[in-house]
Chain A
Amino acid sequence: MDHKTIQDKLFLLADGELPENERQAIVSHLDDCGECAGLILQWRKVQETLGPASLPEPSEVFVFTVLDRLEPRRRPEPILNPRRLAAWLLPRLSLGLTALLISLMLIRPQVVIATESLLLARSPEGDSWEFSPESPDVGLLFGQPRDTP
């Protein structure tokens, strides 16, 4: 392998991804080539900085914070929610209407007699009725004999 080919494979060497024969060839080249050896050295320094040592320490606080946030917070319900209002109101209205209909069906109709009809039926003059400025004879109206002087 020439210098250019080896330089292309230096990172594969750093990753341990080369077959044994190529690895040995490149390692022996590094003994003689300052440029390639320098490149590997520089890369090692970059790796040290970016490597796993740069990761933060484990944090239980972080774990608990995440777990606390898993439960969605309850949003306050709106004061007037049309859907909730309808869900509450409709069954009650239906129940009330049904009760009203049932009671109307059960109640027997009563005969209502008008006062005028009653008075006319009991009047000796039959159905004739005249206006008089005098006060009516209450006894006559209710079937009692007229007081004779």
Chain B
Amino acid sequence: MTESSADDTLTIQRVHAGEKDAFATLVRKYEVRVRGYCMTTLRDAALGEDAAQEIFLKAYQGLKAFHGDSAFSSWLYRITVNHCRDVLRKASRRKSESWDAMLEREGETAEARLTGSADASERFEHAETLRRVLAELPESHREILLLRESQGLNYEELASILGCSLDAVKSRLKRARQEILSRSRHFLLQEDV
């Protein structure tokens, strides 16, 4: 058990003992990562904030059922990933603009976002476009990319959260990276020119 995980266990014991304020320690520790995951996955800051709140409420309500079989962070990430899946599935009823449709509508503008000079605003737009590419990826690819690249989780943590083997993690991660590079290669290559 890592030091961080041991700290979490002690904090959870305090929450179990009735110290509700101890839960604030856990919220402070993980809120940036949970909000970050939600905001990027849902592509909406307000939706992301709401989802993150719901995730911490679910975690608090389910804390009695948490017996420390895995790290608290892995358990919380599982709630996060599942909650965002649910939100996206509910939202999928609404027709969302596809990547191809955006290219068709914006023409060269979208491409220019990824290839223009790198001042602050353009870098921001560059990031937005790349996040859009990310959002268009299959769910399993998007999840593993975010957890690895944005959250900085290692292979073992990814396996625990996603419920698969280490080999499956490596394989899925590789396919996800190839997919996002393939979809954005056109822009990224032009930027190199």
A8: nearest chain-B partner, CB-CB: B174
- List, in ascending order, chain B residues with CB within 8 A of A39's CB: 181
A58 pairs with B127, CB closer than 8 A = no
A50 pairs with B146, CB closer than 8 A = yes
A69 pairs with B188, CB closer than 8 A = no
Interface size on A, residues (CB 8 A): 29
A residues within 8 Å of B by Cβ? 8, 11-12, 17, 38-39, 41-43, 45-47, 49-52, 54-59, 62-63, 65-67, 69-70
A56 pairs with B36, CB closer than 8 A = yes
Whole-angstrom CA separation of A63 from B28 in the bound complex: 6
B185 pairs with A42, CB closer than 8 A = yes
- List, in ascending order, chain B residues with CB within 8 A of A47's CB: 149
A71: nearest chain-B partner, CB-CB: B20
Bits for B124-162, please: 1 = Cβ < 8 Å to A, else 0: 001100110010000000000110011110010000000
A46 pairs with B31, CB closer than 8 A = no
- Which of B5-13, B49-57, B79-87 contacts the other chain? B49-57
B residues within 8 Å of A by Cβ? 20-21, 23-24, 27-28, 31-33, 35-36, 39-40, 49, 52-53, 56-57, 60, 126-127, 130-131, 134, 145-146, 149-152, 155, 170, 173-174, 177, 180-181, 184-185, 188-189, 191-192
- List, in ascending order, chain B residues with CB within 8 A of A63's CB: 24, 27-28, 31
A66 pairs with B56, CB closer than 8 A = yes
B20: nearest chain-A partner, CB-CB: A70
Distance in angstroms from A33 CB to nearest chain B CB is 15
B31 pairs with A55, CB closer than 8 A = no
28 interchain pairs, CB-CB under 8 A: A8-B174, A11-B177, A12-B170, A38-B189, A39-B181, A42-B184, A42-B188, A46-B149, A46-B184, A47-B149, A50-B130, A50-B131, A50-B134, A54-B40, A55-B36, A56-B36, A58-B31, A58-B32, A59-B31, A62-B27, A62-B53, A63-B24, A66-B31, A66-B53, A66-B57, A67-B27, A70-B20, A70-B60
State the majority secondary structure of interface residues on A: helix
- Of B149, B173, B174, the most chain A CB neighbours within 10 A belong to B149
Check A17/B155 contact, CB under 8 A, given A56-B36, A58-B31, A59-B31.
Answer: yes
B149 pairs with A58, CB closer than 8 A = no
Check A43/B177 contact, CB under 8 A, given A51-B149, A52-B152, A67-B27.
Answer: yes
